[in-house]
Structure 1
Amino acid sequence: MTRDILPLDMIDLTIVVMLAEGASLSQVGNHVGLSPSALSHRLTRISDRLGYPVTQMVGRQLRISDRMTRSMPHLKAALHHWAKAQSVISRDVGTMRSIGIARIFSGWAEQFLPDDSGVDQWKIVTGTSEDIVRWVRQAQVEAGIIRTDHGLAGMNLHILGHDPLLAVASPALVSHLPETMELWPWIGFNQHLGHGQSVNRALVESGWMPIYKFQVDALESARVLAIQGKGIAVLPQSMVSNQIREHRLVEVPVTSVIWPKRAVAALYLTGVAEPVWLPHFTDRVSRYLNHGQTTGNG
């Protein structure tokens, strides 16, 4: 017959985890606000609920029982998630913010959201630039990060800066590249999105028809393949600046081509109040794109 086990609450979990980590009974009692007798009664109740002792005497000291010790990783994980859930539900619902980020920027744009001060929560959605424009117009998100060369009638745009595209590869791969660029292992990007269109247009205008080409649908995938030495990827400078500094990637000299620059923007509907965090956000991204890094903590 299966025994029904009554659930433990957050105080129960805190007590057993603290004892397992070596805290004394007085330390545990002070932390959870229980007197010694109340704490002893609580431990007895936990044992009754579980059906086995949660503590045992080792010499003259009270320790967590061996059986409870085996469950400790799960209990610690449960306590962590419970505390996180309580933190979320205790916040003011009105502080939820939502932002849409086009896939071509999702690999790096999220890091520029205002720091979580314990007040704002962020719901981030990704899609194509066209998706983001539609969601903003329908007020499904407060703002969106997209390319600015789509001719967005009736939209206010905050231009953040220009982010040049670089051809990059692992240093080991560059030393083995053949003379003919058509034989280079290019990592292609979805041609239906802005980044892929820019890169493919540059290749066509230069008269190149690569023989070897990997097709990926995310910039992060292209960066990983480039680092692994699988091919050459054309990526935003802001996305690979750290890898270049660390010598994990190097720029590939591509003659006769000036890689197109992309402008990005935070956009919001005309006539709708500008989110209070938007100027701060645009300033951080603009400084990053212009100088390769943000300054300060804000």
Structure 2
Amino acid sequence: MNIENIEAFIYVIHYGSFNKAAEVLFLSQPSVTARIQSLERELDCRMFDRIGKQISLTDDGKKFLPYAQELLQTFQKSKIQLKQKRTLPNELRVGCTVSVSNYVIPTIIPKMKYKYPDVNYKLSTAVSEDIVNKVLNRELDLGFVRNISHPNLLSAKAYEDPIRLYVYKDHPFIGNKTVSIDDIGEYPLVFFECGSLDWMRIHRLFASMSRPPNIEFQTDNLETAKKLVLQGVGIAFLPSLCVAQEVKENKLFPIEFPQTAGISLQTNMIALNGENAIFFNSALDLCKGIAQTIRDHI
């Protein structure tokens, strides 16, 4: 069956005229008429009743219409898919910080692969500044970084991860509504340091305490900090996303202080201006689910 004949049939119905359909299809009116006649011969039935300049669908035409619409839509979708496949790269190179690599990428990449099955994914981990430079040098296609901006980069907030104090099971802070920020000084502290401006706010918080914190462990690795708290050797300020599962399982517990409200880590997605927009927008949409996960656990 000739798809052009079906297209002519749909356009004649839509515009109610052979002449108008011919104009929109950039064809002559006799060409449209010939396509309809070819379709009628193929289906061995008449599609239209013609009374003067007026046309109307026959009963057979009405029966065929939904099938014709479905056939044309399927054909048009296939053209879009094939065109998209030709324009998509074989490989998408994604750079991310360690925390994104641990807690975000395992959720996002399988969904990206499902959406773009013919694309392979190369993932690398680095600090934000290195990722920015590699995106600028076209060594990476997408990057997940801290809140960094650059005039040559498309940048958008992927999600915001609140920093809170987390304690282990049976810690005295749990359920105690009279806990103050100064009480932190009475317990060993595991301090995770990532060097961002948000962590500087935690440092300033320590400066305002009447008793300095007892920092017995310092690490630049989130998983190490979390596992030390799980072992009960100390308490720690941690981003909510990295402990979502442990909070759900009642292994770690958040402690609220007014002084820590609004302290969070912002992660942005970046790409070179004018490039990889389709992947940028898809990944950004998927990050909405990550943001919802964070909201569910705070």
TM bin, normalised by shorter chain, reads 0.5 to 0.7
* 1:211 is aligned to 2:209: no
Gaps of 5+ in 2: 1-88
Give me the whole-angstrom Cα distance separating, in 2, the residues matched to 1:187 and 1:154: 38
Equivalent in the alignment of 1:221: 224
- Cα shift at 1:250: 0.5
CA distance in 1, matches of 2:135, 2:260: 35
Given candidates 163, 166, 173, the residue that maps to 2:164 is 166
TM-fit CA distance, 1:291: 4.6
RMSD: 3.0
Separation in structure 1 between the aligned mates of residue 100 and residue 203 of structure 2, nearest angstrom: 18
1:97 maps to a residue whose letter is L
Superposed displacement of residue 151, structure 1? 4.2
What is the match of residue 125 of structure 2? 126
Amino acid at match of 2:90: T
CA contact (8 A) 1:107 1:219 kept: no
Deviation at 1:110, TM superposition (A): 1.1
Correspondence for 1:136: 135
Residue 262 (structure 1) aligns with: 265
Q: CA deviation at 1:160?
A: 2.0
Contact 1:97/1:121 (8 A) holds in 2: yes
Counterpart residue type for residue 281 of structure 1:
A
- Would the alpha carbon gap of residues 247 and 213 (structure 1) be closer, same or farther in structure 2, given more than 3 Å must change? same
Kindly name which structure, 1 or 2, has the bigger radius of gyration based on alpha carbons: 2
2:240 corresponds in structure 1 to: 237
Aligned length: 200
- Give the deviation of 1:161 after TM superposition: 3.0
Match of 2:287 in 1: 285
Q: CA deviation at 1:289?
A: 1.0
Contact 1:145 1:266 in 2 (8 A): yes
Which residue matches 2:109? Answer: 113
Instruction: Tell me which residue corresponds to 2:96.
Output: 101
Q: CA deviation at 1:186?
A: 1.5
Percent of pairs with identical residues: 19
Letter of the 2:138 counterpart: A
- Alpha-carbon displacement from aligned partner over 1:117-141 (angstroms, at most 9, x marks no partner): 4533222111111111111111111
Paired amino acid for 1:189: F
TM-aligned CA deviation for residue 183 of structure 1:
2.5
Say whether the 8 Å CA contact 1:104–1:194 is kept in structure 2.
Answer: no
Q: Structure 1 141/244 Cα, relative in aligned 2: closer, same or farther at 3 Å?
A: same
For normalisation by structure 1, the TM-score amounts to 0.58
Would the alpha carbon gap of residues 138 and 221 (structure 1) be closer, same or farther in structure 2, given more than 3 Å must change? same
- 8 Å Cα contact 2:149-2:155 kept in structure 1: no
The residue aligned with 1:276 is: 278
Question: What is the TM-score of this pair, normalised by structure 2?
Answer: 0.58
In structure 2, the residue corresponding to 1:278 is in which secondary structure? helix
Q: Is the 8 A contact 1:157 1:268 kept in 2?
A: yes
- Mapped pair 1:181 → 2:184: yes
**Does the CA-based 8 Å contact 2:104-2:290 persist in structure 1?**
no
Amino acid at match of 2:144: I
Change (3 A) 1:172 1:283: same
Residue deviations 1:259-278 (CA, integer Å, cap 9, x gap): 512322110112x3224222
User: How far 1:196 sits from its partner (Å)?
Assistant: 3.9
When residues 252 and 114 of structure 1 are mapped into structure 2, their CA distance, relative to the original with a 3 A threshold, is same
Q: Distance in 2 between matches of 1:241 and 1:192?
A: 22
Moved over 6 A (4+): 176-179
Gaps of 5+ in 1: 1-93
1:142 positional shift: 0.4
Deviation at 1:172, TM superposition (A): 2.6
